[in-house]
Structure 1
Amino acid sequence: MWMQQIAQLDLSSTWVFGVRWSASGKTLAYLGHNSMIYFVDEVESAPAAQNLALRDLPLRDVLFVSERTMIGVGFDCNPMIFAADETGLWSFVRFLDERKAIPSTSKASQV
């Protein structure tokens, strides 16, 4: 029965890369070739689907590090952290390897 519900909540209509379940099995995440992440929450009781568009290259795989935190890796070679708020809404948090701008002390032109 629940596989039929998931099939009905397939929003991707594209090639899918990574598919992962959270540890509890209540959340399913899958990655589309179209730079989207798709989430299906509360799969057992009342499934709710959400998609999250990325401005970067597509992700290839994800890993749930907790029920509400996930890390995604892909073609940008910089892991991305995603989190769900108390209502279950997923969002991008930050890149795992954020580069900090180093102020230049030199006044010379660099060519």
Structure 2
Amino acid sequence: MGFIVYGNSNSPVVPVLCFLPSKVVAFNRKMLEEGIAVVTVGYPATPLVGSRVRFCISAAHTRQMLDKVLSAICKFGDEIGLKFSKKNPHFKFEDLKAIDISHKQGKTFC
């Protein structure tokens, strides 16, 4: 989706790098308006330009809940300008979901 994600793939905590504190505040506000809670981490706990948003994933979350969060992350990431990754392609959540559905139906992609 184009975000820089730190952390361990075995951890339920998913930290997304936002760099600037103002972007963390804006992202947090947008997510709260959607009814999604996030944990924000900024200076002095991180370097000044190392601010991040953390998502805590649980087995209690349903697929619908996770889809709602991913859709909001994608939307607000574009609006606020949080997609900094040069390594990962900048897919829209809807495109990724369509690929997942096609994969389950036995279709393949190059």
Same fold (TM over 0.5): no
Normalized per residue, which structure has more helix?
2
**Structure of higher CA gyration radius:** 1
TM-score (structure 1 length as normaliser): 0.27
